[in-house]
Each structure stands twice: as structure tokens, then as C-alpha cells.
Amino acid sequence: MKIYLFVFLLIIGCSKKNENVLYVYNWSDYIDETVLTDFEKEYGIKIIYDTYSSNEELLAKLQAGSGGYDVIFPSDYMVTIMAQNSLLEELNIKSLTNLKNIDQLFLNPTYDPEQKYSIPYTSGLTGIAYRTDLVTDEIDSWKIFWNAKYKNKTMLLNDMREVYAMAFKILGYSVNDTDPIHLAEAQKLLIDQKKYLKKYESDMSKDFLLTKEASIIQQWVGDSYQIMEQDSNIAFVIPKEGSIKFTDNICIPKGAKHKENAEKFINYLLRPDIAARIINVISYSMPNLAALPMVNDEIKNDKNIYPDEELIKKYEFVLDLGEYTSTMEKAWTELKSY
Ligand code: N2P
């Protein structure tokens, strides 16, 4: 009898222990780590944290059924794709009492009109980070990536939609263009650029820029500002042709084992003090209005981080291209192996 009781208590104990965890899968360099440890202390929930560097990597992981994640951060168009593929849990909005801090303009977006699956986390855009001590030209255009002077010193994001968006914008097309003739033109341009390319790389390109192994990289605004803080010879520019603007979101993947913990975590991230701490570390804007008074002035007043519409009028949100995605994927695979 005693042994049964012991086993029973052991099982209860283990399952209780398992409940106090949360598996978080986020973009690299997209959180203030002290916010994670403070959450663990405050809620007694241990966070297991893992990172990715593109929406497509996140999608592939979820489609493979691996990871066991409870919280993920897909961009706008990826929320649509994931919702359509039944990869997201519906959120219990009532549990998210801090949603009131979010700017109304960011609620009920076209990619999730009923706010069923996603809560906006950050927003930003893609531009060029470069070394002012190595680049003598004035940079205002994506075309700098085709300048032979910077051969083997340029890096583009390892991100299909970002790379084609850049080429489409140079050619005067939309980032969501689906004309195969335009794709062929973009492909030609990008094949030509490979002569000057060191590597397609999203995360490590920042280190390459810091160590001067690269001079010019395609990079997201906040990630660029994070390295600008480490090296005053790094600058960031918004190219005149435009490119992608995004809203990244907090979601719960289908079948998440710790949904309640996930909702506690999401509500915690929506707290003004927590949001402000994250913004001050990652240098991306968040639609959390109540956080603004606690955001550092140099971030709040920076037009690249909090841009006005005029500055980014040529910037577009990525849309799901439906079946055409596989056509682009084929071109991307070909481009990378070229
Ligand atoms: C985080 C980059 C996320 C921006 N390092 C792209 N959505």
C-alpha cells in the first residue's frame, strides 16, 4: 500500500513540476534577458528559451511537429499562414488584462482581423547597417550591394522574402510581386550580386560588421542599433527605394502544453514596465503606449525606430503569396546554390 502511495505522490509531484515550465521560441536578440529571469522569480515558472532567425525556420519547425513550444513570435504574414494551417491556438483574450496598453491602431490587423491568434509585440523595418570607417560612399540606396569596391564585404539577410523584397524594390516592384517575369529579373540581379556577397546571414552578420569582416549588411533596424551601441563607427540607413516593414507578434502554437503559463507570460510582456525594458535593450518599437514614458529618449526620438509614414512610404508589409511561395522558394534555393 505504502509503495502505491509513494508512486502516486511521485507522479503528482512530477506532473506539478512539469506544469511550472514555459517553452519560448523567439527571434535572436529580441528580448531583455533580465525580463525572463524576473518572470521566473515572480511566477515560479521556469523558461526554456530558444531562438530562430527567420519566419520560414519557425514555420518549418512547427510543421515538423518539433520543439514543443508554448510561445512563438511570427511576423504578420506568418500569422496568416500559420492560422490557415491550424498551427495556432486561439488566445483567451480575457486573460490578457494588459492588452489595454496596446495602441488601438495595432489591434485587429488585416493578418488577424478578429485578434484570435496574435498579440502585436514589436514593429520595425529593414535597412542597411554599415561601417563608416570602411565605406567612403554616401549610402542611400540598396544599389550599394552591387558596388565592386565592397566585394566580399557585403552580407544580405538569410531570408527569402527580405532578399527578393530588396531586388523588387530596386526594380520598382512591390515586395509582394507575383509576376514570374519580374521574379526572373530579380533573380538576374541577385545572381549578379553574388560576386560581391560574403554570405546570406541574418544573426552573425552583425558580428562580421563588428569585426570588420563585412562593411555593409542588410539588417533589421533594432539589430543594427544594438551593434551601433557597441561601435560608434556603425551607422544605419533607410534606403530610398523602400523595403519591408513588419509587425512581429506573440502567439501560442497549436497543442502547446503550457497554455496558461503562456498567457501569463504574454500578459507579463504587455506590462508597461516590462515592455519599456525590452524596448530599451532591443531598440525596436512596441505598440505599448503605456510603456512610452519609460522608453529612453534617444530611442523614442529616433525616426528609424519610431518612423513617421512619410519616411517609410515605400515600405510595405509582406503578404502571404499563397501557391506562388513555392515558385519563389525554388528561385531562392537556386540562388543560394549558385
Ligand atoms: C530580431 C529580428 C526580427 C525582425 N532579431 C524581423 N521580423
Report the residue among 25, 26, 30 best suited for mutation to probe ligand 1: largest number of ligand atoms under 8 A from its CB: 30
- Is 254 in contact with 229 (CB distance < 8 Å)? no
What pLDDT, in 10s, does the model give residues 227-271?
999 999 999 999 999 999 999 999 999 999 999 999 999 999 999
The rounded Å distance from CA 183 to ligand 1 centre is: 24
Residue 14 has pLDDT above 60, yes or no: no
The rounded Å distance from CA 316 to ligand 1 centre is: 16
Q: Which CATH number fits domain 20-123+247-307: 3.40.190.10, 3.30.470.20, 3.90.245.10, 2.40.50.180?
A: 3.40.190.10
Q: Which CATH number fits domain 124-245+313-337: 3.40.50.720, 2.40.240.20, 3.60.15.10, 3.40.190.10?
A: 3.40.190.10
The minimum-distance atom of ligand 1 relative to the CA of 124 is: 4
pLDDT in the model for residue 179: 98
pLDDT in the model for residue 67: 82
Residue 177's SS3 state is coil
Q: How far apart are CA 146 and CA 171, in angstroms?
A: 14
Report the residue among 223, 244, 278 best suited for mutation to probe ligand 1: largest number of ligand atoms under 8 A from its CB: 223
What confidence category does residue 191 fall into, taking pLDDT thresholds of 50, 70 and 90? very high
Averaged confidence pLDDT in the chain: 95
User: 194: Cβ–Cβ under 8 A, 6 or more apart, which residues?
Assistant: 335, 338
What's the rounded mean pLDDT across residues 59-78? Answer: 95
The minimum-distance atom of ligand 1 relative to the CA of 203 is: 5
Residue 302's SS3 state is coil
Residue 187 has pLDDT above 90, yes or no: yes
The percentage of the chain sitting over the pLDDT mark of 90, rounded to a whole number, equals 93
The rounded Å distance from CA 315 to ligand 1 centre is: 16
Task: Spell out the domain ranges in the chain.
Answer: 20-123+247-307, 124-245+313-337
The rounded Å distance from CA 244 to ligand 1 centre is: 11
Name the residue at shortest CA distance from atom 6 of ligand 1. Answer: 220
pLDDT in the model for residue 7: 46
Distances (CA, A) of 125 to 89, 98, 336: 27, 26, 23
Ligand 1 pocket list (CB less than 6 A)? 27-30, 75, 124, 220, 223, 246, 248
The rounded Å distance from CA 5 to ligand 1 centre is: 50
Joined grid coordinates for residue 324: 506562388
A 10 A CB-CB count for 168 gives: 25
What's the rounded mean pLDDT across residues 206-213? Answer: 98
Residue 279 has pLDDT above 60, yes or no: yes
Joined grid coordinates for residue 273: 514596465
pLDDT in the model for residue 2: 52
pLDDT in the model for residue 19: 83
What pLDDT, in 10s, does the model give residues 23-67?
999 999 999 999 999 999 999 999 999 999 999 999 999 999 988
